[in-house]
Amino acid sequence: FLLSLDTRYPIEKVDYKLKYKKFKINEDERLRCKIQNGVFRNHVRAPITPSDIRYDEKQKYYLKDLCIFAFLKDNPIGYGQIIFDRGVYFIVNFGVLYEERGKGYGKEFLNKLIDLAKENNIKEVNIRVDSSNKIARNLYERVGFDEECSVSTWVWE
């Protein structure tokens, strides 16, 4: 599903417990791989490598100032970024490590990305979620995202 959020409307006030750090090119690629591979560890998504990240950094959609890590104390627990693709802003690669889920960090982190969008005068952000991922979809809707449409993905086998 494709969900969208109008950032001009107020979101609930968040008491941030996590620390946040911007991703640094040529410095944080391994850390991003570690987090993303931990977040998306399943049979559908192949593990990424630093070369995959370097490729991502060179794409037109990539916005270097809108990529952040979430830290609990000094431990990295999440990663997320905002990209601009085909005239639309998307939150992508968003997630919190399995062992830190269910504690409210995902909601806080998502609100932090929305705050980052607002700070950069982005009026609307979108996020995609697999139709079978009910937990993520519930999180996105609790934060304020509304369903726009369903999207089909075709896989060549």
* pLDDT tens readout for residues 79-115: 999 999 999 999 999 999 999 999 999 999 999 999 9
Question: Cα(64)–Cα(72) distance, rounded to whole angstroms?
Answer: 23
E strand segments, 32-104:
67-72, 75-85, 88-96
Please name the amino acid found at residue 72: L
Please tell me which residue, 83 or 132, carries the higher pLDDT value.
Answer: 83
Q: Is 132 helix (H, G, I), strand (E, B) or coil?
A: coil
Confirm whether pTM is higher than 0.85.
yes
Give the up-direction half-sphere exposure of residue 27: CA atoms within 13 A in the CB hemisphere.
7
Distance between CA atoms of 33 and 47, rounded to whole angstroms? 8
